[in-house]
A and B are shown apart, each in its own frame.
Chain A
Amino acid sequence: MAQTQTSGITAEAQVQNQLEEKSQKEKLQLAKAKQDDKNAPVTIRAEAFNGRPERFIKFERDVEIIKGGTKLNSDEAMYSNLDDEVDASGNVRMNRYGDCYSGDSMRLQLDSGAGFVSNPIYRLLRNNAQGHAKRIDFQDEERSIITSGTYSTCEGLNPDWYLQSDTLNLDTGLDRGVAGKSVVYFLGMPILATPSLTFPLSGARHSGFLPPVMGASSKGGPELTVPYYFNIAPNRDLTVYPKMIARRGLQLGLEGRYLGETYSGETSVEGLLNDRVTGTNRYAVASVHQQKLLPQLDFSWNINTASDDNYPTDFSRTITKTAQRLLLREANLTYYGSFWNLALRTSNYQVLQDLAAPIDRPYDRLPQLQLHAEQHDVGGLDWSMDAILTRFWHPTMVRGDRMVINPSVSLPLVQAGAFIIPKISFHATNYHLVNPAPGQESDFHRAVPTFSVDSGLVFERKTRMFDTDLTQTLEPRLFYVNTPYRDQSNMPNFDSAVADFNFAQIFSENRFTGQDRIGDSNQITAALISRFIEGNGDESLKLAIGQRFYFNTQKVTLDNTVSPSRSDLLLAAIGKLSSTLSGEMALQLSQTDRQSVRSNYGIRWQPSPKKVLNLAYRYQRNTLEQVDVSAQWPMADRWYMVGRSNYSMMDKRMVDGLLGFEYKADCWSLRFLAQRFATNSVNNTSGFSIQLELNGLARLGFGGNPIDALRKNISGYQPINER
């Protein structure tokens, strides 16, 4: 998970950097244009003029004044040569780099751009922002103060929404608007009054109060959050979330992100002193951090913790949090050598117990030291070596140290259309148990050799499907493994389990993951893969079939479950059927009873943007059987329906569902969303949210953020006001 989150930030930061780079470039160009303007000549046209050219000149009728990117028109104007200043009156219109202002009268210092306009109507290039005011003061070409004015991104004289404020500071250079005492009107009704509001003139976020969020939950009652965002630097920010929860008290949340050349991370902390419901302090922390200490030395942590077992169900409103009952805490130190690396790791899981279905606590690794080395093409040979020393700790179960040494050598014979790779590996393990069970030894070891041969051919042909020229491949593959039997029934199980049976697993030597069980095997895997590749190299469809054949009965077991003598058959297909239709299927068929063990069918139809339908069926024998339908679909002009139903056929119960509507107007959109999901075997959590998005100002809402929920639940969802 650590990797997931941080790589996420990196990607985002890259995009952000690119955007910033682009806007930087634009800004520089504009700044240069403006700089050139300082020296640009002033051109004035009018039907008549009089006065003294070296001091004042009065222009009359159809006056037009141009200097660089600024153009001013009016009925009359007085120009002072000394101050390079214009006093214009009567039908005053100014266009400055695409921003337009019109009013009764205007004073403008042409050199600095400072001045004012009275009773103006304005329209800015960015965001198409517009409004009217008693007066606008220009501090320079970028900064202006609007007094007793309105702000809206809607067209026309009767905008659907507008912000009415006593003062409004707009800074097109910083791309920021800061409103003083303001009221937001929507369809003529006041919907929000605020003493201060900061908003971006386009995309980027700026320090200041974000719009308040109201909500309610069955466990905490009504709640109100007033977030404050600190934009510390382009690569670091901090958001503070004070949240008043009626029944519990004041919760304070902090979320910080940072990205440097050699480090990055993200930490969120939330806490509530003396919860009025439980009488205890409630808190949660989630933190990830990566750092390059030296060019070859990396350090990272991933720490998650919560004050008590019920924290996620009491405070988290999203299913991703309530579904996770194991919280990882780990720290890693890794040194990278030329062909080897050495990693020191310590890890532990906090278990948030659910009394109805208790969870066994996983082992702590205190610590684990791992050496990995590999080299390719050394005299035609590849070799690798793993040495892992781990101290496993558990409060109730058997504890001990385990040393694993696992060298391997292979001889890959690879050509464009064929390969054969014989490989020998050796697995030596030593255990020292601290508190062996009665009758169990404290020290024992195991040594197992494994021999395998992987081989395959690649055939190709040209073909045509759906009017497209394709290359079709046919790739037969055979994989043989031989590992002798070793009795492992007295060995502890610290980190092993039977791996899922899939296409990655059937080509690996051991049917168990982890190091505590090495499966005996004398078996061959046969598979056939066919790919359809487009002219640009894009793989549009992949079909696969595979099966493993055992030459003798497997004796090594985990928890005394007997393995079948014939392996299951695997079938898989994934790809595009047309430009709008894609699908995937995976099927594991038991050869013993000819029934499916696990299956997965999914199809997605996306005929146009903002129009997607997903259908899926998922089955795992004795564990789950679900139908999952989700869609974003236009219902009528401007109306979209969004929904998901993940229904468990085994329990005849909806595990996760949501239903909502979205309405898209030209300068705002509205979302209603109802959500319901299972939190344990008997309980569900329901939530309701409404969000009004005023384009270019804010998202105002009740409940959680519906866009997050929609993105997570409906694969392929696109926000309706995105172009």
Chain B
Amino acid sequence: CGFALRGPVALPFKSIYIGMPESSALGGELRRQIRANGQTQIMSSAKDAQVMLEVLSETRDKQILSLNSQGRVREYNLIYNFRFRLRNNEGKEYLEPVDIQLKRNISFNETQVLAKEAEEVLLYRDMQSDLVQQIMRRLAVVKMDD
């Protein structure tokens, strides 16, 4: 049916700077994927890198999804919004600002609030892995015209 095992896809740039702090879990996972992918080098400063990934915003939101008949929350929607662009240190944009939104539902009950806190962490980690995959897909098709 035409499916073939994915081979290594080299990113279209030789070196990249990831504009996220060392302590960022998202940054860590992204660096690791780029390293696993092959030839692109990860630089520790923006001026040495051919391109830089700049995070424009990263927000987490929690919306009420369903209420029970007593007007109490029974489901929340966790929304993770991420906006980034790719440019070089002279300001030339290779990737216009891209918005990626991820959502997960979580059930809620007041008596389990501490357990639900831990579950939210699990869901955000899951969204983060998803996000890293989506960022990688975007980076793989960037057009470098020089």
Q: A: which residues have CB within 8 A of B?
A: 1, 3-4, 7-8, 10-11, 14, 319-320, 322-326, 336, 338, 341, 349, 351, 354, 356-357, 359-360, 362-363, 376-377, 414-418, 457-463, 472-474, 494-497, 499-500, 502-505, 508, 512-514, 533, 535-539, 586, 598, 600, 618, 620, 623-624, 626, 628, 646, 648, 650-651, 653, 655-656, 677-681, 712
A274 CB to nearest chain B CB (Å):
29
Report B's interface with A, CB cutoff 8 A: 1-9, 22-23, 28, 32, 35-37, 56-75, 104-107, 109-119, 122-123, 125-126, 134, 137-141
Instruction: Say whether, besides A474-B3, A620-B107, A7 and B59 are in contact (CB < 8 Å).
Output: yes
Whole-angstrom distance from the CB of A570 to the nearest CB of chain B? 13
Contact B7–A417 (Cβ < 8 Å): yes
Interface of B is mostly: mixed
What residues of chain A lie closer than 8 Å to B5, measured between beta carbons?
417-418, 457-459
Contact between chains at B57 and A357 (CB < 8 Å): no
State in angstroms the CA–CA spacing of A495 and B114 once bound together: 5
Q: Can you spell out 18 A-B residue pairs with CB atoms less than 8 angstroms apart?
A: A1-B62, A7-B57, A319-B64, A338-B22, A495-B114, A499-B115, A499-B122, A502-B105, A505-B122, A513-B118, A514-B114, A514-B118, A538-B138, A598-B107, A623-B74, A628-B66, A646-B66, A648-B69
B114, A618: Cβ atoms closer than 8 Å: no
Kindly provide the distance from the CB of B74 to the nearest chain A CB, expressed in whole angstroms.
6
The docked-state distance in angstroms from the alpha carbon of A463 to that of B1 is: 11
Q: A504 CA to B128 CA in the complex, in Å?
A: 11
The answer for the CA separation of A503 and B125 in the assembled complex, in Å, is 12
A416 near B6 with CB under 8 A, answer yes
The reply to whether B137 and A539 form a contact with Cβ atoms under 8 Å apart is yes
Instruction: Tell me which of B56, B119, B139 contacts A500 (CB under 8 A).
Output: B119
Contact B114 A323 (CB under 8 A): no
Task: Evaluate contact between B115 and A359: CB separation under 8 angstroms.
Answer: no
Whether the Cβ atoms of B4 and A537 lie closer than 8 Å is no
- What are the residues of chain A within 8 A of B126 when measuring CB–CB? 503-504
Task: Collect the chain B residues with CB atoms within 8 Å of residue A496's CB.
Answer: 115
Q: Which residue of B6, B28, B71 contacts A655 across the interface (Cβ within 8 Å)?
A: B71
Establish whether residues B62 and A499, one from each chain, have CB atoms under 8 Å apart when the complex forms: no
Contacts of A646 in B (CB 8 A): 66-67
- Bound-state CA distance A514–B118 (Å) is 6
A494 touching B114 by the CB < 8 A rule? yes
Q: Is the CB of B115 within 8 A of A497?
A: yes
Residue on B nearest A376 in the bound complex, by CB: B32
| Given contacts A8-B61, A505-B122, A680-B71, A460 and B4 within 8 Å (CB-CB) | yes
Contacts of A472 in B (CB 8 A): 3
Within the complex, what minimum Cβ distance (angstroms) separates B135 from chain A? 9
A503 to B61, CA, bound (A): 20
Q: Which 9 A-B pairs have the closest CB atoms?
A: A497-B115, A504-B126, A495-B114, A417-B6, A537-B137, A537-B138, A459-B3, A651-B69, A461-B2
A504 proximity list for chain B (CB < 8 A): 104, 122-123, 125-126
When chains A and B are docked, how far (Å) is the Cα of A707 from the Cα of B35? 46
Collect the chain A residues with CB atoms within 8 Å of residue B61's CB: 4, 8
Q: From known contacts A497-B116, A500-B106, A500-B119, infer whether A677 and B71 are also in contact, taking CB-CB under 8 Å.
A: yes
